[in-house]
Amino acid sequence: VKRHARVHYACDALNLLHRLDKGTSGVMVYAKSAEAAKYYLRLQDQRGAITKDYLAVVRGAPPRAAGRVAGGICPSRDRTSYVIRGKGSGKAVLTTYRLLASECHSRLGKLSGLSLRLFSGRKHQIRASCRHLGCPIVGDDRYGGPAFGPVLPHA
């Protein structure tokens, strides 16, 4: 990516503007200048100015076809994962979700496709939100999902 930017856009320094959790696929956003990076970060601080949408395959289904997970995200007691608790504990998170479809898998049981939108970009937010809903991401054994190849969130 850096070589492509240098050759095609005469840009020597790219600024990475966000990250994806290990195992998550999707689009990465870079700024070609420090000024553009600062502008993006200002927008990111404005609620709703930048949205991050993800698709995930989960085991089971959420309690409702659409809803939200809001509260505070903090490390679990054993510090191996993150959990979402009530507001006032940890860092504030807001994730909305929508059920896209559900199917029965011969080995894993009921699987569902979710569309998730993050209004805060906390570490492991999607993974913790899905576990909080009772439907962990397929392939994410750290958060209770069934082992099945790679983790399946996509940005």
Query: What residue type is assigned to position 86 of the chain?
Result: G
Active site positions, annotated: 21
Query: What residue type is assigned to position 57 of the chain?
Result: V
Question: How far is C-alpha 132 from the geometric centre of its chain's CA atoms?
Answer: 14
End-to-end CA distance of the chain: 18
| 30 neighbors 5 (Cβ within 8 angstroms) | yes
How far is residue 2's CA from residue 21's CA, in Å, rounded to a whole number? Answer: 21
How far is residue 143's CA from residue 120's CA, in Å, rounded to a whole number? Answer: 19
